[in-house]
Structure 1
Amino acid sequence: MLVFLSSAANGLTLLTSRCYIYDGDWLSTGRRADREVKMRWRNGAVLVLSGLCVVAATLSVRTRWTYAQQEGKPLSSPGWPMFRGSLDRCGASKDTALKPPLKLRWRFSGAKSWFVGSPSVVEDTVYAGSWDNTVYALDADTGKEKWRFTTGNHVFATPLVADGVVYIASHDGTLYALDAKTGQKRWVFVTGTGKEIRSSAALKDGLLYFGSFDRYLYALKQADGALAWKFATGAYVSSSPALVGDAVFFGSWDRNVYALDRKTGKELWRFTTGGPVFGSPAVADGVVYIGSDDGHMYALKADTGGEVWKFKTGDNVRGSAGVAEGRVVFGSYDNCVYALAAKDGALLWKYETGAIVRSGATIANGVAYIGSYDQCEYGFDIRTGEVVWKHEANSIVDSPAAVAGGRLYFGSHDRSIYCFENER
């Protein structure tokens, strides 16, 4: 076991036919939801951008940053250093510069396979992992490749970037620590089983947390790389843990949502759903929001695990919820995007896309961005559900978007990373 070289956790704080896709699991498009709920539209036309336009780009994001620690509070800085942007995994940004309609700033197409995880953006660099076993660092100004690092298998997870180090897991069962400037390997942690890791790491107070398909949730000591503790569940852990207060929250394919003492790994509570819990929790205002393959979005009390409410969709809920402005936005395998009232789970609006929705929702400046297997990235007015922006990629979009410095970043199964900015 090699040691950590960083000392603190401060970081940048329309398809209509049925199809089947293989990405490590067999995924069906699922069933269509009922159409009883009508969309509420604002006056005016819905803007739809189709096709693809490649434009030269310049982008400069050179600011200092810190983690946003308050639960449910959007990031106050323009960076996106980890999965869902912050430790509470709410996918919410305070960036007020980004405002649809958007235009393509640049597109990186140098990978040999698709991008599933979200990009991370720190200062002038975009970091992303690909199914071609590679971690890429791209210039945020131009999309030009800075460096690449090859792992032993697919990269599903989103990079965590802190203190000049990129922490990224691979399906080879290894967590890598890479120099953020050069891509050189600092250290590796091997789970010892060779089981894949889809979970994206979180770092707080000297401990690094992630889950594995070997059924464990791990906590590593940042100072020397030693195992602080590991917690056994009954099945795979693909969920990326959320850290709020002294607790770590995550789900397992054993159908449970867990809360552990993040310092000791002691179980605080568990809540059993009706199906595997593939996705990651979002924690806001003392409530944990998380979906299950039983088709529900759950709201649980963060301190006890007691159920606040649950909402039934027409199929699996695997993407992470975006939580902001009193709303919970997420997608389902029933092809729909939902917006619920955070306080009671009441349906505010829903929109049916052309295929399943596995991407997590990212919220910035009153717009919820989310991708679909219908090959589109959507921007919804979070209040009304109006489609205020849409981009057609060349393949599936299930990479959750990142928002940084007034730009929108996401990946696609067309082997590309996209960067969008305001049209004017």
Structure 2
Amino acid sequence: MRRARGRLVLFCLVVLLGSTASATASEDAGIARGDWPSWQGDPAGSRFSRAEHRITPGTVGRLKLKWAFAYPKTGAWSKSQPAVVGDTVFFGGPDRKFHAVDARSGKPKWRFDLGPAGPGPLDGVAFDGATGAAVAEGKVFFGDSRGFVYALDQHTGKLLWSVHTETHPRGWHTSSPLYYRGRIYLGASSAEHGVGQDYPCCTFRGHIDALDAGTGALVWRHYTVPEPRAVATWPSGATRYEPSGAGVWGSPVIDEATGTLYVGTGQNYSGNGGDFDTLFALDAVDGTVRWKQRVTDADSWRDLCNVPDGEGYCPGLKDNTALDFDLGAAPNLFPVHGRLLVGVGQKSGVYHAFDARTGEVRWRRQLSVPSPLGGATGIQWGASYDGTHLYAATYYAGPGTLNALDPATGKVVWTTPNPADGCAKGGASRYPGQCVLAHTPAVTSSPGLVYEGSTDGKMRVYSARTGAVLWEYDTVRDFAGANGIPGRGGSIAGNGGAVVAHGTLYVQTGYEPMYPSEHGSALLAFDLP
């Protein structure tokens, strides 16, 4: 009993020290308690709104729409998760604008146009516009789908600096930045997976960058694959380059006690080499590798793997290694019995947990079974940790499910499937051929509650204790935007998830599938009356 009590004291001390360190870092960056200043929520990637006290299991059922901010119709997805600092919400839209609005009313404060920065890799594609933002030092930092990174004045929207991090013409950012001690950390991925048969595939190299927060200057860069080399030709006669890809789709997190940065990578586009499907532990100061864990033996995939005549362009179809099993989700750091673990969800449906110091595997848990859709069945953008459980959601898993896991063992505490009537009611019921019961977004939590949206267009809040649905809102409807234009909801957005700050729930709606409408998508804010 004495030994168990000692372990409990040590565990509580680790949690307390971690919370204190995060609070100190936030205060140093000019962030107040209750804000949500970055994609990760905090440096450790908990996606847990620790200070939330208004939205509780007892009050969540009374949430009402407070305001909507609508975008013009562009054909692009809503994917920029909001950041909330004080009374301002910061986010990008599919209109290639970056917005700051009043958290109380949704009225615009300022707007920044991304357009003049330069040509994009694929203008008009679904991934178009800004990533989620990080707010620190009086600045707003974010990347975009043209490979630029920006720093804007937090109060005026004035451009302070912008840098183009991508020499590759199809490079872009889906990774949202992490601020830590005067630097910005974010990854680079690309649109090269979507190229056709005549394209000389492929030459993109994934990388994670550290930028000076004051100037945008590159401090260090770590590539995930070696320089691709011409090795043969594709059936079309186009030059074949290998290895390529291993883009960094997700957002990094950091262990502030050791200065270790953690981030995952995606699959190869061609060949089989480099650090694909790998979780990295990097020294935040100089980018050197402290350890790495590759979780898939081979994984070479691009869009041509999905077409009937794609075999010649997707060698993995012959040996079943065309998987698309990215580590596209952001990692989570959490203490267990006095040891810090780092966990990450994979598009294979597995959540992996490693010793954060050594990289030793502690446990793995399969939450969905891969299907012919490959990585579309598994964990997409990220999980959440609330000090008690880990929460991870699966995508096209027939149906997608929300799961609570024991952080010490990975044991599933509860599982709640996407409600079976999700496509049979509400706005999605008019589109039975498009609606699927699946979870794209990263999971978010606050004390007693878990937040996860669905491709059926419903935003849901669950009991953290039992997994029961406590609140549901159908977003597939028209909205009058506080900015003066009409909007319409759709699937709840990926590339991020719900944000909970100062008693308000923020949700981007309008992702794949995009239910037909003459209006653009919208950001929604819900509050208690």
Q: Same fold (TM over 0.5)?
A: yes
The amino acid across from 1:415 in the alignment is S
Partner residue in 2 for 1:397: 492
Q: Quick check: 1:287 aligned with 2:337?
A: no
Moved beyond 3 Å, runs of 4+: 110-114
Closer/same/farther in 2, CA of residues 182 and 111 from structure 1, 3 Å limit: farther
In the alignment, the residues of structure 1 paired with residue 166 and residue 354 of structure 2 have an alpha-carbon distance, to the nearest angstrom, of 33
Q: CA deviation at 1:362?
A: 1.0
Q: CA deviation at 1:68?
A: 7.6
In the alignment, the residues of structure 1 paired with residue 91 and residue 385 of structure 2 have an alpha-carbon distance, to the nearest angstrom, of 23
Closer/same/farther in 2, CA of residues 330 and 111 from structure 1, 3 Å limit: farther
Q: Quick check: 1:203 aligned with 2:179?
A: yes
In the alignment, the residues of structure 1 paired with residue 367 and residue 96 of structure 2 have an alpha-carbon distance, to the nearest angstrom, of 34
- Of 120, 131, 146 in structure 1, the residue corresponding to residue 94 of structure 2 is 131
Q: 8 Å contact 1:260–1:266 — kept in the other structure?
A: yes
Q: 8 Å contact 2:131–2:143 — kept in the other structure?
A: yes
Partner residue in 1 for 2:235: none
Q: Quick check: 1:218 aligned with 2:215?
A: no
Partner residue in 2 for 1:67: 26
- 1:69-106 Cα shifts (integer Å, max 9, x gaps): 9xxxxx98111111031111110112111130111111
The amino acid across from 2:330 in the alignment is S
Q: CA deviation at 1:369?
A: 0.6
Q: Quick check: 1:385 aligned with 2:385?
A: no
The amino acid across from 1:79 in the alignment is D
Q: State the aligned residue count.
A: 356
The amino acid across from 1:84 in the alignment is Q
Q: Quick check: 1:165 aligned with 2:139?
A: yes
Q: Quick check: 1:407 aligned with 2:504?
A: yes
Gaps of at least 5 residues in structure 1 are 1-11, 14-64, 70-74
- Of 290, 307, 320 in structure 1, the residue corresponding to residue 382 of structure 2 is 320
Closer/same/farther in 2, CA of residues 240 and 368 from structure 1, 3 Å limit: same
- Of 88, 97, 107 in structure 1, the residue corresponding to residue 44 of structure 2 is 88
In the alignment, the residues of structure 2 paired with residue 76 and residue 341 of structure 1 have an alpha-carbon distance, to the nearest angstrom, of 30
Q: CA deviation at 1:223?
A: 4.1
Partner residue in 2 for 1:259: 281
- 1:272-314 Cα shifts (integer Å, max 9, x gaps): 1133211111111211121112220111111111111111122
- Of 223, 232, 249 in structure 2, the residue corresponding to residue 238 of structure 1 is 249
The amino acid across from 1:277 in the alignment is L
Q: CA deviation at 1:203?
A: 1.2
Q: 8 Å contact 2:96–2:113 — kept in the other structure?
A: yes
Q: 8 Å contact 1:292–1:316 — kept in the other structure?
A: yes
- Of 272, 292, 298 in structure 2, the residue corresponding to residue 270 of structure 1 is 292
What does residue range 325-336 of structure 1 map to in structure 2 within 5 Å? Answer: 325-333=387-395, 334=397, 335-336=400-401
* Structure with the largest fraction of strand: 1
Q: Quick check: 1:422 aligned with 2:528?
A: yes
Q: CA deviation at 1:183?
A: 1.6
The amino acid across from 1:257 in the alignment is L
Give the percent of matched residue pairs that are identical in Structure 1 and Structure 2: 28
In the alignment, the residues of structure 2 paired with residue 156 and residue 237 of structure 1 have an alpha-carbon distance, to the nearest angstrom, of 16
Closer/same/farther in 2, CA of residues 350 and 156 from structure 1, 3 Å limit: farther
RMSD: 2.0
User: Which of 1 and 2 has higher RCO (CA within 8 Å, sep 6+)?
Assistant: 1
Closer/same/farther in 2, CA of residues 111 and 162 from structure 1, 3 Å limit: farther
In the alignment, the residues of structure 2 paired with residue 277 and residue 155 of structure 1 have an alpha-carbon distance, to the nearest angstrom, of 22
- Of 98, 107, 119 in structure 1, the residue corresponding to residue 55 of structure 2 is 98
In the alignment, the residues of structure 2 paired with residue 396 and residue 330 of structure 1 have an alpha-carbon distance, to the nearest angstrom, of 18
Q: 8 Å contact 2:183–2:210 — kept in the other structure?
A: yes
Q: 8 Å contact 1:319–1:331 — kept in the other structure?
A: no
The amino acid across from 1:207 in the alignment is R
Q: 8 Å contact 2:161–2:215 — kept in the other structure?
A: no
The amino acid across from 1:121 in the alignment is V
In the alignment, the residues of structure 1 paired with residue 151 and residue 72 of structure 2 have an alpha-carbon distance, to the nearest angstrom, of 21
Closer/same/farther in 2, CA of residues 106 and 407 from structure 1, 3 Å limit: same
Q: CA deviation at 1:358?
A: 1.8
Partner residue in 2 for 1:39: none
- 1:298-343 Cα shifts (integer Å, max 9, x gaps): 1111111111111112232112111013211111121111111111
Q: 8 Å contact 2:260–2:283 — kept in the other structure?
A: yes
In the alignment, the residues of structure 1 paired with residue 36 and residue 455 of structure 2 have an alpha-carbon distance, to the nearest angstrom, of 24
Q: CA deviation at 1:156?
A: 5.0
Q: 8 Å contact 1:81–1:122 — kept in the other structure?
A: yes
Larger Rg: 2
Q: CA deviation at 1:204?
A: 1.1
The amino acid across from 1:331 in the alignment is A
Closer/same/farther in 2, CA of residues 226 and 146 from structure 1, 3 Å limit: same
Partner residue in 1 for 2:405: 340
Secondary structure, aligned partner of 2:150 = strand
In the alignment, the residues of structure 1 paired with residue 73 and residue 142 of structure 2 have an alpha-carbon distance, to the nearest angstrom, of 19
- Per the normalisation by structure 1, the TM-score is 0.80
- Per the normalisation by structure 2, the TM-score is 0.65
Q: 8 Å contact 2:152–2:160 — kept in the other structure?
A: yes
Q: CA deviation at 1:378?
A: 1.0
* Structure with the largest fraction of helix: 2
In the alignment, the residues of structure 2 paired with residue 227 and residue 177 of structure 1 have an alpha-carbon distance, to the nearest angstrom, of 14
Partner residue in 2 for 1:176: 150
The amino acid across from 2:287 in the alignment is G
Secondary structure, aligned partner of 1:136 = strand
In the alignment, the residues of structure 2 paired with residue 339 and residue 156 of structure 1 have an alpha-carbon distance, to the nearest angstrom, of 31
